[in-house]
Amino acid sequence: MGKNTIGPTALVIFGVTGDLTVRKLFPALYEIFRLNPFPLQVIGFARRDWDEDFLRKVFYQSIEDHARTKPLDQMALESMGENLHYVRSSFSDIDGYHKLKELIASLKVKNCLFYLATPPDAYPTIIEHVGQLELAHPTEGWTRIVIEKPYGRDLASALELDRKVHQVFEESQVFRIDHYLGKETVQNILVFRFANGIFEPLWNRRYVDHVQITVAEEMGVENRAGYYEQAGVIRDMFQNHILQLLTLTAMEAPVAFNADAVRDEKLKVLRSLRPLHGQQALASTYRAQYGPGKLDGVRVPGYKDEPGVSPDSTTETYLAARLFVDNWRWANVPFYIRSGKRLPRQITEVAIQFKQVPLSLFGWRNLAGDAPNMLVLNIQPDEGITLTFGAKAPGPESIIKPVKMDFDYMEAFGVEPPEAYERLLLDCLIGDATLFNRSDEVAEAWEFTTGILQAWADEPLQNLPEYEAGTWGSAGMEEFLQRDGCRWRRL
Ligand code: BG6
């Protein structure tokens, strides 16, 4: 379906008063609308004592502060502003849903996109009420539901949520968001691999020594301790974003680029992950927590001193893991992942370290002694791809030094990549679920992650290692890889 064929649509944002709407949803919606105006009504649904006028103010301010493109398109803004509505209600009050139903009917829309931007404990109630008022299956047009993460907190709760969702919605109506899949450079992993003939033959255990996936953040826990204390890196980043990066890196070519074909292949990777349980899980993971330190010259508190964090918290803010994808392509190739908060810089990348040549003929000078060929997919912030290879350094001796071939997204295309939510919201509106998680994928990712969680719970750490905020961490992080004869990339 073409972009400009979206018919009259109501977007209902449950939890519209939250941060996500202001920072991500409104700005993304504005960019979509600006490029392809369509008959759109936005309905905010939340408990706070707001009204339509206040929501309009919040909307204008959000675009002012967060729009990706400037100058602002006043016509688009006004037209969107005129079509904003607000239903004030608690999520458990059925009257609110009656009002919502009447409002939707009065707006004469055909399609309805429900967006759950609330705390996850409200999801079941909202879904149940939407079902009760028969809002999920319209007589004309389509109805879809977008569900934000966290989608459950372990396998059992994810399956339970899924059961509730499926009582009301068909799987084809459900769009489970992982915003990493909306990032252009994440999608480019597939284009790079499957639109080019030269890399794929090397993309396997014969040529790849190991893979390193890094998702490093400068940010600390901010004001999200209530959520983060119960989550840690494993639920916040690993079960979703990191496993997604891994599946895209490791998957086979899909038979077509459509939602089911792509998701079938991702699912196979998740199913091939060597399960981690008990001692194996403990030996294959490393956890730590940030202590006080300095970032950009500014003192920052340790995790335990952040507002809302328990002084004896054992929540990990850093996680490293060694994973194996047990299939023919990847047997025995380690996938090392690491992710943490309060690291020296924000960077997300997938690095493929190719094997050393079979026989070394030249003096290879590289401080780490790593094999020369590494391909780095830079997801953010410097979006691009870098291939490192050895070249002869000038001079009479045959000394080989690493040099780089670089593709820089900005330089090549002259534009910044769009925000993930722009792509994802548009895909919900046109009904393309390729970049969303299917029910079976989520369950599989949780099944794998729950093995680790269980092992951690069975044998609680006596003390969680601490790393100084603003550094690449404790000695334990290095040792974790040194044991395998590897080292983390210096970033
Ligand atoms: C979110 C996590 O899903 O992703 C946050 O809840 C994290 O803790 C964020 O900071 C990172 O996303 P991005 O797009 O900034 O890399």
Q: What is the pLDDT of residue 361?
A: 82
Q: Which residue has the tokens 């925000």?
A: 419
Of the residues 85, 129, 210, 241, only one is catalytic, namely 241
Hey, what are 455's tokens? 């092992």
Q: How far is the CA of 180 from the centre of ligand 1 (A)?
A: 9
For residues 342 and 317, the answer to whether their CB atoms sit within 8 Å is yes
Task: Give me the mean pLDDT over the 315-338 stretch.
Answer: 98
pLDDT reported for residue 195: 96
- Regarding the beta carbon of 236 and ligand 1, being less than 6 Å apart is answered yes
Q: Contact, 171 vs 439, CB < 8 A?
A: yes
Average pLDDT over residues 123-134: 98
**Binding site membership of 349 for ligand 1 (Cβ less than 6 Å):** no
Distance (Å) of CA 113 to CA 8, 38, 147 = 11, 14, 11
Q: How far is residue 99 from each of residues 16, 48, 133, 311, 395, measured CA to CA in Å?
A: 16, 16, 11, 45, 79
Q: Which pair of tokens denotes residue 81?
A: 């502003």
The reported pLDDT for the residue numbered 369 is 65
Which atom of ligand 1 lies nearest, measured to the CA of 217?
Answer: 10
> What's the rounded Cα separation, in Å, for the pair 259 and 426?
15
Longest dimension (CA), the chain: 84
Q: Average of pLDDT values for 74-96?
A: 98
The tokens for 347 are 């960077």
Q: How far apart are CA 465 and CA 93, in angstroms?
A: 46
- Per DSSP, the three-state class of 147 is strand
Atom of ligand 1 nearest to the CA of 236: 6
Report which ligand 1 atom has the smallest distance to the Cα of 380: 16
Q: Name every residue whose Cβ is closer than 8 Å to that of residue 22 and which is 6 or more positions away in sequence.
A: 58, 61, 62, 65, 66
pLDDT digits (tens, 9 = 90+) for 413-465: 998 889 999 999 999 999 999 999 999 999 999 999 999 999 999 999 988 99
Strand intervals (E) in 260-368: 285-291, 293-295, 298-300, 318-324, 334-340, 347-354, 363-364
Instruction: Give the pLDDT confidence of 41-71 residue by residue, as tens digits.
Output: 999 999 999 999 999 999 999 999 999 999 9
Nearest CA to ligand 1 atom 2: 236
Q: What is the pLDDT of residue 2?
A: 46
Q: Ligand 1: which residue has its CA nearest to atom 14?
A: 180
Residues 419, 422: Cα–Cα separation, whole Å: 5
Percent share of the chain, pLDDT over 90: 91
Residue 460 is predicted with a pLDDT of 94
pLDDT for residue 242: 98
Q: How many angstroms separate the CA atoms of 320 and 404, rounded?
A: 27
> Which helix (H) or strand (E) is 405 found in, with range?
strand 399-408
Q: What is the DSSP letter of 315?
A: -
Distance from C-alpha of 59 to C-alpha of 81, rounded to nearest angstrom: 7
Ligand 1 atom 13: the closest Cα is on which residue? 180
Pocket of ligand 1 contains residue 217 by CB under 6 Å: yes
Nearest CA to ligand 1 atom 4: 237
Q: How far apart are CA 233 and CA 285, in angstroms?
A: 12
Q: How many CA atoms lie within 13 A of 229 on its CB side?
A: 15
In three-state secondary structure terms, 489 is coil
| Mean pLDDT, the chain, whole residue set | 95
Residue nearest to atom 15 of ligand 1 (CA): 217
Residues in the chain: 491
Q: Which residues contact 7 (CB under 8 A, 6 or more apart)?
A: 38, 39, 110, 111, 141
- Cβ of residue 218 lying under 6 Å from some atom of ligand 1: no
Q: Which residue has the tokens 């956890």?
A: 287
Residue 3: is its pLDDT beyond 50? no
Q: Which of 221, 261, 276, 269 is nearest to 245 (CA)?
A: 269
Distance 215 CA to ligand 1 centre (A): 9
Residue type at 65 in one-letter notation: D
Which residue matches tokens 């803010």? 317
Ligand 1 center to residue 362 CA distance, Å? 44
What pLDDT, in 10s, does the model give residues 194-226? 999 999 999 999 999 999 999 999 999 999 999
Cβ contact 426:251 at 8 Å: no
Q: Which atom of ligand 1 is nearest to the CA of 180?
A: 14
* Share of the chain residues as helix, strand and coil, in percent rounded to the nearest 5: 40, 20, 35
Give the contacts of 224 (CB within 8 A, at least 6 positions apart). Answer: none
362-384 tens-digit pLDDT: 877 665 667 889 999 999 999 99
Residue of 219, 244, 339 to test ligand 1 pocket, by largest number of atoms within 8 Å of CB: 219
Is the separation of the CB atoms in 433 and 178 below 8 Å? no
Contact between residue 1 and residue 429 where contact means Cβ atoms under 8 Å apart: no
Please compute the mean of the pLDDT values over residues 227-231 and round it to a whole number.
Answer: 96
pTM check: above 0.75: yes
221 CA: nearest ligand 1 atom: 8
Residue 316, helix vs strand vs coil = coil
Which pLDDT score is estimated for 96? 98
Q: Residue 277 catalytic?
A: no
Q: Is the distance from CB of 16 to CB of 45 less than 8 angstroms?
A: yes
d(CA 460, ligand 1 centre) in Å: 26
Distance CA 433, CA 262 (A): 10
